[in-house]
Chains A and B, each alone.
Chain A
Amino acid sequence: MPFILLVVSVIVIGLGSGIGSAYWVIRDGALFNTMRIGPWTAYPDASGIEADPYTRAHQINRRMLPVTGFDSIDFETKTDSQGAALDGRCHYRLTGPMPPARFWTLAVTRPDGRPIANPAGRHAFASPELLRAEDGRAEIVLSSSARPGNWLPIAPGPLALVLTLYDTTIGSGVGDDMVLLPDIRREGCP
């Protein structure tokens, strides 16, 4: 094999595998320090100054690095519990357990983190505002038309949901495999 051919193949293989693998790891989320529960994904302590290089690169690439503190964690999803992409034309019902945290908020955005303009001027729901059903369950409806009860407005187009828990130990590693998060069910599309 001529020497020049060897050098060229080494460079091609090196660039391809190096850049390809770095891109894959950064785009799809850190291989390390990732929590997935149902459709929800979180990166515990990802904004911490001691985050590992993979988490750091991934967070920068998301362009919405959460400047959260060490006492909170945000879970994000772009799909419902069945795995279908969230679609602003449909309406959805969030039910089920909220994990142990002093407070939580649920925000709805576009997948790139931009808020969604809506006439109600409402972009998030905070746990103290929640109206509970008689049996104590929490339900939140996402819909582009106003609904009674716990309602968060959405608008046509792709969506992302961000559930942030404040003053919580979730993400510290202790008991994280026991955590349950709400179910997101599509209830109909026009």
Chain B
Amino acid sequence: MKRIALGAGLALLLGLILGGAIHIAAILALPRLATDTPGAQLAPYLSAGRFTALPAVTGDGDAPRFLDPAMRYAVCPFDVGERAGRFLADLDADYWSVSFHSEQGWTFYTINNRATGDEEIEVLLVPEGGVAALQRALPDGGEGRLIVEAPSERGFVMIRALVSGPSFLPLVETGLAAAECGPIS
């Protein structure tokens, strides 16, 4: 009788220890195994060297699912493996921002129009630890320019802009189409 109780207790203890390990492994593995990430949903719109506007959210529902219907978006891939990236946008909208994401879609940097006093936003993107090297390479030492370190070589940049009413839409679309994306020259 005593031996059975002891055995059951041991089984429970070892089982829960194993359960803890499985729990942790499952939680850590899920994001790595996931295929339906925002980055994957955006893949059809990522073409190198230019910003591509995402379709507006409509009832037909082709647009990626996490978008705010009141905003318009444009995306551009980056690869800072060989050369630093440069991104420039100047929109006419009440609120707009430029954000930087890993390939899966995790955000590592965001700046919005209030931070620059509604002027244009220019961001230079370098790999981790690459700020000093870029500053040396720039003619003016990179004085006053915004340099951001990317935690991964590849990923994408997203511009989003609030459409404050139907009459604001053309201005927003023009601004998104004029945004620049590519390696630094």
Contacts and interface: CB of A to CB of B under 8 A. Distances in A.
B65 A126 contact: no
Given A19-B22, A105-B71, A26 B31 contact: no
Contacts of A61: 30
B130 interface: no
Interface in A133-171: 162, 164, 166-167
B110 A12 contact: no
Contacts of B23: 17-19, 21-22
B137 interface: no
B164 interface: yes
Interface string A9-29: 111111111110110011000
Given A19-B22, A57-B27, A126 B37 contact: no
Assign chain A's interface to a size class.
35 or more
Contact of B19 (A21, A26, A71): A21
Interface in B61-113: 61, 63, 65-66, 68-71, 94-95, 97, 99, 101-102, 105-108, 110, 112
27 contacts: A6-B7, A6-B14, A9-B15, A13-B14, A13-B16, A13-B19, A14-B17, A14-B22, A15-B18, A17-B22, A18-B21, A18-B23, A18-B26, A26-B27, A26-B30, A47-B106, A56-B30, A57-B27, A57-B30, A60-B37, A65-B37, A67-B107, A71-B97, A113-B65, A115-B59, A126-B163, A129-B165
B145 interface: no
